[in-house]
Amino acid sequence: MESNQALLAIAETLLQQKIAPFAAVIDNDPEALRSALQELGNASLLGLRIPQHWGGAEVDGITFRFFQEIVARCSGALAFLQAQHQSAGSLLARSENEALKQQYLPYMNSGQALVGISFAHLRRTPSPIKAIAVPGGYQLNGQAPWVTGAGCFQTFIVAAVLPNEQVVYGMVPFQSTRQETGGAIVCSDPMQLAAMTSTGTVTVEFQDWLLSAAQVVQVEPLAAIAKSDRLNVLHHSFFALGCARAGLDILERTYQQKQLGFIQTACEALAQELAACRQAIFTATTEGNHSPSNLFATNLQLRAWAIELAVRCAHAAIAASSGAANSNQHPAQRIYREALVYTVSGQTAAVMEATLARLTFSTRLTQI
């Protein structure tokens, strides 16, 4: 596994020193989260998948996964928010709309331009957002059920399904606004979530919104999302791995305070399992570059393992922290809540099935 060690070392130092100690406030306070995101921008870490000639860091896939894992270990809210922007950067970098690329890409690595995404609804049938071709572009109607980054990102890339089973991806403002043509974007208030409330996750309503051709990022078949879900099934696992590690960090600290041998025993056993799960996922990710599709079944199981392990490590941190873990401010509780988000983010029907199968299997083992 090769990676860009220098960049990762810079990222890790920054995250451990400037982000991890403030994870509780970053989870809750949008201003603190925005500052944390800007710390990443100041270190040129917000355009990791953007080519260098567009001002990005252009790191390889493995380096990017290590990075996602380290951020998730230090702050779930920051990991989740920056992931949306990094995805927008990758997508825009693949666009053929050179003018739009020129407008955004050179400013994304530093965080001068901050962009969200809204694609998850493409997995629903029928899609809640539809588009039709009109003179000069497309008209969008419907609701984007999840868009993260309200109040922080200036724009987001929304995906809308066309009558011919193609999908148009376009750049839209991330605020309630009205067009002269009568079109409107209406953002809800931020959702009150169990975790990562600071991320400003909203639903966005499109009413006859005119997406001009100049704002179109790409048009591709609807089937592409299912193909990408199969190829990239492991991508969300790295957040779960970082979250599991964060749970173990607490377990280790609790052992230092309480000096109870069984906490150390539990910590060592979980750390060993995490190392095995992590190794399997990184190996599969490296191999996946060469033979992507036939590994799908195994990769699904690895994703489910990472999800379940994140929840178990967080739960172990809670058990070892005793009653104090019930305080909203306790890190063990925050990490448990973050594990809840990673259980469902980027979920497909196949991932849901694998997650439930793994949980059912554990239950059966307990009964024996």
Ligand X SMILES: Cc1cc2nc3c(=O)[nH]c(=O)nc-3n(C[C@H](O)[C@H](O)[C@H](O)COP(=O)(O)OP(=O)(O)OC[C@H]3O[C@@H](n4cnc5c(N)ncnc54)[C@H](O)[C@@H]3O)c2cc1C
Q: Give residues in contact with ligand X (CB under 6 A).
A: 84, 116-120, 123-124, 145-148, 193, 201, 341, 344-349, 352
Q: With b meaning 16 or more CB within 10 Å and e meaning fewer, what string describes 206-245?
A: bbebbbeeebbbbbeebeebeeebbeebbbbbbbbbbbbb
Q: Which is nearer to ligand X, 14 or 172 (CB)?
A: 172
13 phi/psi in degrees, rounded to 5 = -60, -45
Taking alpha carbons only, the member of 355, 368, 13, 26 closest to residue 198 is 26
Helix (H) or strand (E) holding 271: helix 261-288
Beta-carbon neighbour count of residue 13 at 10 Å?
11
Q: How far is the CB of 290 from ligand X (least distance, A)?
A: 27
Q: Write down the least CB distance from residue 56 to ligand X, Å.
A: 21
- Residue pair 27/85 in contact (Cβ under 8 Å)? The answer is no
Nearer of residues 66 and 153 to ligand X, judged by Cβ = 153
Q: Which of 59, 78, 83, 34 is nearest to 346 (CA)?
A: 83
How is residue 56 annotated by DSSP? -
Tell me how far, at minimum, the Cβ of 99 lies from ligand X, in Å: 25
Nearer to ligand X, 95 or 201 (CB): 201
In the complex, least distance from residue 3 CB atom to ligand X, rounded to whole angstroms: 26
**Parallel, antiparallel, or unpaired: how do β-strands 184-187 and 177-178 relate?**
antiparallel
Which residues sit opposite 184 in a β-bridge?
178, 207
Question: Of the two residues 63 and 215, which places its CB atom closer to ligand X in the complex?
Answer: 215
Single out the residue of 235, 248, 365 nearest to residue 310, CA to CA: 248
Pick between residue 147 and residue 304 the one whose CB is nearest to ligand X.
Answer: 147
| Shortest CB 315 distance to ligand X, Å | 20
Q: How far is the CB of 259 from ligand X (least distance, A)?
A: 38
C-beta closer to ligand X: residue 36 or 147: 147
Please say which residue, 174 or 255, places its beta carbon nearer to ligand X: 174
Identify the CA nearest to 54 among candidates 100, 8, 10: 100
Q: How far apart are CA 30 and CA 45, in angstroms?
A: 20
> Shortest Cβ distance from residue 6 to ligand X (Å)?
30
H-run or E-run covering 221: strand 216-221
Taking the complex as a whole, how short is the minimal distance between the CB of residue 80 and ligand X, in angstroms?
Answer: 7
**7 vs 200 by CB, closer to ligand X:** 200
